[in-house]
Amino acid sequence: MTNLRPSKKIIYLLIACLLALGLIVVAAEIPADFKFTDSLKKNSRNDKYSANPTGSQEFGASNNSGAFEQSLSADDDKDGLKNWEENLWGTDPKNSDTDEDGTKDGEEVVVGRNPLVKGPADKITTETGISFSGQASGQGRATIGEDLPETETFGRELFSKYLAAKQSGAVNEEALVGDLVQKYEFNQTAKQYTAKDITVIPRKDSNLTILKEYGNALGLVISQNLPKAGAETEFEIFKRAIQTNSPETLAKLDPIAARYERIVRGALGLKVPEEAVSAHLVFLNSFEAALADLRGMKKTFSDPIVGLWSINRYPEDIINIVSATQGLIEVFDSRSIVFTQSEYGYALVHAI
């Protein structure tokens, strides 16, 4: 009897199944019309800037959550394997006994048997690296098609946890995905800029005019990189890519990432009055973090763990942009600096 390590195809398919489910749920919880520019508009009721990305709806308040939960629990052939698990194993979601050995697919997995291989020599073992006993046919198994170097170790660990949970009779998809998010960041931390990376105007050489010129210069950077009216948002793009299983769709994130990158470059090139340095760096690093998230989201189909982490982190980083902008506004307010509609600083304070 030959022991075979599971192919990378199996490991990556498990990751893809679990993470795609998690990604869909996360994306569904974000308002489709959310833009970071909307986050910075004034709340007319109290003339304050709101950190609520929509001004009316909190993240997580999705009307579609019930549908996704139903999708997670669907088991069309009532064999004990949910539809997403059928995709993992390569079993037929319309046939309760894919290998036709008289035992339902789900029952085989629970007792440690391979649902693709007729018994009795079809035992699954969970050793270091995990191995199957017997030759799986691979019938119906999807192909991820690319190496996922950052996720392979976790893939094997996740597969072990999945098997253990399945054999105990309790697989919690959200718990598996949640454990992933908490444990693995995979070096996706964005670059952090410091005062050494920018030109600082010492306080002794600064004045109100220079501070206002700085505000107008930063406002120009922002106004030159606003999204076009009616443009598809990053969340709409991401959701559509996942729902249609289309890696190509994620290329539509490139123009958004390019805008963020231009904002970062522009902010780096400004001469910053010393009193605005702290707020400027928070602003700069917030955009850098959001840019890193977008780049991570682009990897969703080739490296789903990075994609999952990035889409989960993105709303928080966008809200950080809001807070950073508020910090800049406070600097100007503290010096009673007001920008008129004809000045670029108005874009920073009002238009984005």
Q: What is the reported pTM?
A: 0.66
Does residue 59 sit within a domain? no
Q: What is the pLDDT of residue 282?
A: 96
Tell me which of 183, 216, 245 is where a domain ends.
183
- How far lies 149's CA from each of 140, 193, 232, in Å? 25, 28, 32
In 92-139, which ranges are E strands? 124-125, 131-133
Looking at the fold, whether 172 and 247 belong to one and the same domain comes out as no
What is the spatial distance between Cα 62 and Cα 65, in angstroms, rounded to a whole number? 6
Number of residues in the chain: 352
Q: How many DSSP H helices and E strands does the chain contain? A: 12, 7
Copy the structure tokens of residue 209: 């005019």
349 CA to centre of own chain: 28
Structural domain range at position 120: 3-12+69-183
Closest CA to 260 of 279, 284, 229: 284
Q: What is the pLDDT of residue 284?
A: 96
In the DSSP assignment, the letter for residue 131 is E
Does residue 18 sit within a domain? no
Looking at the fold, whether 263 and 347 belong to one and the same domain comes out as yes
What is the spatial distance between Cα 268 and Cα 253, in angstroms, rounded to a whole number? 23
Closest CA to 89 of 159, 178, 188: 159
Does residue 53 sit within a domain? no
Q: What is the pLDDT of residue 8?
A: 54
Tell me which of 124, 155, 183 is where a domain ends.
183
Looking at the fold, whether 227 and 305 belong to one and the same domain comes out as yes
Q: Is the peptide bond before 304 cis (omega within 30 degrees of 0)?
A: no
Does residue 341 sit within a domain? yes
Looking at the fold, whether 85 and 153 belong to one and the same domain comes out as yes
Looking at the fold, whether 196 and 284 belong to one and the same domain comes out as yes
Looking at the fold, whether 121 and 193 belong to one and the same domain comes out as no
Looking at the fold, whether 193 and 334 belong to one and the same domain comes out as yes
In the chain, which ranges are E strands? 3-4, 42-43, 48-49, 124-125, 131-133, 199-201, 271-273
Strands 271-273 and 199-201: parallel
Strands 3-4 and 199-201: unpaired
Does residue 175 sit within a domain? yes
Q: What is the pLDDT of residue 301?
A: 79
Looking at the fold, whether 119 and 226 belong to one and the same domain comes out as no
What is the spatial distance between Cα 239 and Cα 201, in angstroms, rounded to a whole number? 44
Side chain identity at residue 241, one-letter code? A
Contact 132, 11 (CB under 8 A): no
Side chain identity at residue 24, one-letter code? I
Tell me which of 135, 166, 183 is where a domain ends.
183
Domain count, the chain: 2
Closest CA to 325 of 344, 298, 352: 352
3-state secondary structure of 242: helix
Looking at the fold, whether 167 and 191 belong to one and the same domain comes out as no
In the DSSP assignment, the letter for residue 226 is P
Looking at the fold, whether 134 and 250 belong to one and the same domain comes out as no
Does residue 266 sit within a domain? yes
Looking at the fold, whether 177 and 194 belong to one and the same domain comes out as no
Q: What is the pLDDT of residue 281?
A: 97
Looking at the fold, whether 120 and 192 belong to one and the same domain comes out as no
pLDDT mean values, one per 10 residues, the chain (352 residues):
45 60 54 45 34 36 48 82 80 91 89 83 56 36 44 68 79 70 60 96 96 97 87 86 88 95 97 97 96 91 77 86 92 96 89 52
